[in-house]
Amino acid sequence: MVWKIAQSPKVKELFAAPGNAGTARIAQNIDVNASDIKALAKIAQQKKIELVVVGPEVPLAEGIVDHFESIGIPIFGPSKLAAEIESSKVFAKSLLKKYNIPAGKSVTFSDYQQACDYVRKQKPPIVVKADGLAAGKGVVVAASKEEALAALAEFMQAKKLGTAADKVLIEEFLTGREMSSFVFTDGKTVLPFVSACDYKRIYDGDRGPNTGGMGSYSPPVFDSPALQKKVIETVMEPAVKAMAQEGRPYRGVLYGGLMVNSGDVKVFEFNSRLGDPETQVILPRLKTDLVDIIMAVIRGKLSQIKVECSDDACVGVVMASGGYPGSYKTGFPVNGLHDVDKDVLVFHAGTKVGSTPWEVLTNGGRVLTVVAMGKTIAKAREKVYANISRIQFEGAHYRKDIALFKS
Ligand code: AMP
Ligand code: GLY
């Protein structure tokens, strides 16, 4: 997002909080946590910041937008009440049900024993979801009743996710192909952006535990104008209208986590922001100035904007620290960043500047994403994999099968 915003001729100075070694090259990093709303507001006032763009979900759920609006600083993202579309799966489900937006059946429990009794009557696979935010750890797709019961015990008895699992949903297992779809909205106008596919599991062949996302590509191979039309008309527009009717007007990017099966679309989640790693493959396709879109959303003038996107495909592969999504070590030097081709993009996530300004160290689970565009998905993919092996750090792991399709 920082990379895209930096391209706007309207931007004179750019700050990133907390930022990383990548943003340090194009913005000034501010050493404040993205969730420290009060500290961020103070800095924004001191520096006379004219626009704030929120990336992650936690500050949105904690009301960063409401706070900045109350002190008169323009900010892009949904209010606390609107962000509940992501931060409370129980709220999202009730919205879907009430407004007849297609989704799998689900039942909510706050009592552990009742949840267990219900699971015992279900046929696996059984989907167990924590109500609140859990950084990708709140969903278990259980292959057996035992696995579902174990998830309930972890969530509701051992409180592994804290209060995020005070309520738990047991959801119908949806089959099909997963797609992340994005729209911009000012609460009235809904402007289609693009869709992408995310690879959630850590290992090739979609094996191993879920992660935040190990790679993605856009547009999905199964995408079509008819599918996009269906997504907009049956999911996005009704959802935005529903939020307005609920007194929670939604402004920002709305991300639909969708299951597509023979042209049928069902929602399995909403996010209140751009996804990661989807952002890395959708923003390179955006031709319109992102700052123009953002300002139009904030001013309620989105109907005056046209979102233009490149027809080229984009592929991104995440390099992660060894051990991720479990425990991992950080602080390893990242080498070879300058050896990639000029038209290949390397987006940093968990990195930081080392002891010299040009030294980059690992500083998180997902370290960086290597991205390339191409006339076809295959060409973009080839470019990514030809370059990714030039970047190294101790323990680095990446999937070899992102955007790979058997013919
Ligand atoms: P979420 O954290 O809601 O994105 O869910 C994580 C992953 O669990 C999704 O990317 C899907 O692969 C899977 N998932 C979530 N809900 C369902 C469902 N109802 N049926 C099948 N898979 C699901
Ligand atoms: N890639 C999934 C997410 O951002 O939630």
Burial class of 100 by CB neighbour count within 10 A (0 to 12, 13 to 18, 19+): exposed
Atom 8 in ligand 1: residue holding the nearest Cα: 139
Quote the CA–CA distance of 271 and 294 in Å, as a whole number: 17
Q: Give the domain CATH number at 210.
A: 3.30.470.20
Task: Examine the domain organization and report whether 289 and 350 are in the same domain.
Answer: no
Is 137's pLDDT higher than 90? no
Residue 397, in any domain of the structure: no
Q: What is the mean pLDDT of the segment spanning 213-235?
A: 97
Distance 279 CA to ligand 2 centre (A): 9
Does residue 185 share a domain with residue 136? Answer: no
Confidence of residue 51 (pLDDT cuts 50, 70, 90): very high
- Rg of the chain over all Cα atoms, to the nearest angstrom: 21
Rounded to the nearest angstrom, the distance between the alpha carbon of 114 and the centre of ligand 2 is: 30
The DSSP result for 146-208, as a single string, is HHHHHHHIIIIIS-TTGGGGSSEEEEPPP-SEEEEEEEEESSS-EEEEEEEEE--EEETTTEE
Q: Where residue 44 sits, what CATH number does that domain have?
A: 3.40.50.20
Specify the pLDDT at position 381.
98
**Boundary of a domain, candidates 166, 199, 233:** 166
Do residues 270 and 158 share a domain? no
Residue 249 tokens read as: 């007007």
Domain containing residue 153: CATH number: 3.30.1490.20
* 85 Cα: distance to centroid of ligand 2 (angstroms): 14
Domain CATH for 364 = 3.90.600.10
pLDDT at site 353: 97
**pLDDT confidence bin for 407, thresholds 50/70/90:** low
Select from 267, 269, 271 the residue to mutate for testing ligand 1; criterion: most ligand atoms less than 8 Å from CB: 269
Q: Which residues have CB under 6 Å of ligand 2?
A: 198, 213, 271, 275-276, 278
- What's the domain range around 161? 111-166
- Is the shortest distance between the CB of 141 and ligand 1 below 6 Å? yes
Helix axes 145-152, 112-120, angle to 10 degrees: 170
Q: Is residue 350 part of a domain?
A: yes
Span 172-195, pLDDT tens digits: 999 999 999 999 999 999 999 999
What crossing angle do the helices spanning 80-87 and 237-245 adopt, rounded to 10°?
A: 130
246: pLDDT strictly greater than 90: yes
Ligand 2 center to residue 257 CA distance, Å? 9
Is 134 in the same domain as 70? no
Q: Which residue, judged by its Cα, is nearest atom 3 of ligand 2?
A: 275
3-state secondary structure of 386: helix
Whether residue 299 sits in one domain with residue 327? no
- Give residue 356 CA to ligand 1 midpoint distance, Å: 42
Express each pLDDT in 17-35 by its tens digit.
Answer: 999 999 999 999 999 999 9
Phi, psi of 53, deg, nearest 5: -120, 125
Q: Confidence class of residue 406 from pLDDT cuts 50, 70 and 90?
A: confident
Q: Is the pLDDT of residue 164 over 70?
A: yes
Any domain includes 382: yes
Of 363 and 357, the structure prediction assigns the larger pLDDT to 363
pLDDT at residue 230 in the model: 97
| Pair 158, 71 in one domain | no
- Averaged pLDDT, 108-131: 96
What mean pLDDT do residues 278-283 have? 98
Model pTM score = 0.96
Looking at the fold, whether 217 and 277 belong to one and the same domain comes out as yes
For 315, list phi and psi in degrees, rounded to 5: -125, 140
Same-domain status, 49 and 159: no
Residue at which a domain ends, from 133, 166, 199? 166
Mean pLDDT of the chain: 97
Q: Is the peptide bond before 220 cis (omega within 30 degrees of 0)?
A: no
Å from CA of 267 to ligand 1 middle? 10
Ligand 1 proximity of 395 Cβ (cutoff 6 Å): no
**Digit-coded pLDDT (tens) for 56-69:** 999 999 999 999 99
High-pLDDT (> 70) share of the chain, %: 100
CA distances from 379 to 143, 151, 283, 371 (A): 36, 41, 18, 12
What integer is the mean pLDDT of 87-100? 98
- Ligand 1 atom nearest to CA at 172: 19
Give the CA distances from residue 27 to residues 14, 22, 54, 349, 397, in Å, rounded to whole numbers and listed in that order.
5, 9, 15, 15, 28
- In a domain, residue 64? The reply is yes
Mean pLDDT of 370-399: 98
Q: 87 lies in a domain?
A: no
Q: For ligand 2, pick from 60, 89, 181, 255 the residue to mutate: most ligand atoms within 8 Å of CB.
A: 255
Residues 331 and 226 in one domain: no
Amino acid 85 reads: I
In a shared domain, residues 236 and 290: yes
Whole-number percent of the chain with pLDDT over 90: 97
Domain for residue 101, yes or no?
no
269 within ligand 1 shell (Cβ under 6 A) = yes
182, 151: one domain: no
pLDDT at 328: 97
Question: Does ligand 1 come within 6 angstroms of the Cβ of 16?
Answer: no
Read off the pLDDT of residues 307-344 as tens digits, 9 standing for 90 and up: 999 999 999 999 999 999 999 999 999 999 999 999 99
Task: Answer yes or no: do 297 and 323 share one domain.
Answer: no
Closest by alpha carbon to 195, among 135, 129, 253? 253
The residue from 254, 277, 304 where one domain ends is 304
Q: Is 375 within the bounds of a domain?
A: yes
Confidence of residue 136 (pLDDT cuts 50, 70, 90): confident
Ligand that lies nearest to the alpha carbon of residue 57, given by its number in the listed order:
2
86 lies in some domain:
no
What was the pLDDT predicted at 156?
Answer: 95
Our count of domains for the chain comes to 4
